[in-house]
Amino acid sequence: MRFVRFSALALATVSLSASAQTTAVPPAATATPAPATIAADPALWVVKDKDTTVYLFGTIHVLKPGYSWFDDGVKAAFDKADALVLEMVMPDPAAMQAMVMKMGMATDGTPLSQKLPEDERGDYTKAVAEIGAPQAVVDRLKPWLAATEFSVAPLVKLGYSPANGPEAVLTGAAKAANKQVLGMETAEQQFGYLDGLSQTAQMAFLKSAIDDMPKLGDEMGEMVTDWSKGEPQALAKIMNDDLTGQPELKQTLLIDRNARFASWIANRMKQPGTVFVAVGAGHLAGDGSVQADLAKTYKLKAVRVAY
């Protein structure tokens, strides 16, 4: 699922893959720092009143090395902020592992492969082999966790890493500048959204993730290009296409969360100061975006920052 790669759920899963070998995939390679050689100008918005400024920045949670996005207008906006606000602040690996064991492991005793229609089991077996995991291990996962792993783990093999992603860069810069780092959600909440999906929606998510795997490299490259060029409408099309036919997943991962993010921002506008909000780029694209919710529900206008 392409949308998942724009969600902090992707970041959580990549970190899980790196630290929890008892789940599905081997450790993710540590990203090798590289000179910033690829120009990127992602979209940035601002919501302002007389004493409050909220910047809205869309991220891709895993990137290859070398993108020069943390400069110009993005860096200037970040430097003005008193606090960094993310979808979530990552817990430590031990806490993440415990969370996965509690929420992501099936307890019904039926292997995941046996829950799939017989004609889909071959593709499932190939997907498990591609992420380099024993099938006996993946078979113990709930469908939503296996689907998320299939959506993200192959990207690690292609050179993508959360260590190169905006969240890691922004968090490091915030800590170095003694800025407060806040999360609008917790990792447990994010896993809970998927764990709360119906079995039908989880299995549809799993099938979509498996079907998408052969196209991961090309699709991720297209998404990164659109993000780098600051083209939210192109990203919105990807999001809409990605969630077509999966209304429960769209409602849970996108619509409901966008509304919660907009509510958080609207409440923050009641306090003076400046904050830099960074969420997955999919949340800031399209008709149902956070900006649209801010305008419709709270009469707050998000203006695109030119830089």
Q: What is the pLDDT of residues 215-267, one digit of tens each?
A: 988 989 999 999 999 998 898 887 666 777 789 988 998 899 999 999 999 99
Domain membership flag for residue 121 = yes
What distance separates the 2 farthest-apart alpha carbons in the chain?
61
Report if residue 95 sits inside a domain.
Answer: yes
Classify residue 31: in a domain, yes or no: no
Residue 149: C-alpha distances to residues 11, 16, 252 (Å): 11, 9, 18
As a whole number, mean pLDDT of residues 74-102 equals 91
Query: What is the rounded distance in angstroms from the CA atom of residue 222 to the CA atom of residue 228?
Result: 10
Question: What is the C-alpha to C-alpha distance for residues 291 and 228, in angstroms, rounded to an integer?
Answer: 20
195: amino acid identity, one letter: D
- pLDDT value at 109 more than 90: yes
Q: β-strands 67-68, 38-39: how paired? A: parallel
* Residue 115 domain-assigned (yes or no): yes
* Residue 30 pLDDT grade (very low, low, confident, very high; cuts 50, 70, 90): very low
pLDDT range class, residue 147, cuts 50, 70, 90 = very high
Residue-wise pLDDT for 31-44, tens only, equals 444 555 899 999 99
Annotate 41-65 with b (16+ C-beta within 10 A) or e (fewer). bbbbbbbeeeebbbbbbbbbbbbbb
pTM equals: 0.90
Highest mean pLDDT among 15-19, 22-26, 51-55, 133-137: 51-55
Q: Confidence class of residue 24 from pLDDT cuts 50, 70 and 90? A: very low
* Range of the structural domain that residue 271 is part of: 3-26+36-304
pLDDT of residue 95: 86
Total tally of structural domains belonging to the chain: 1
Angle at 256 between CA 250 and CA 261, to 5 degrees: 125
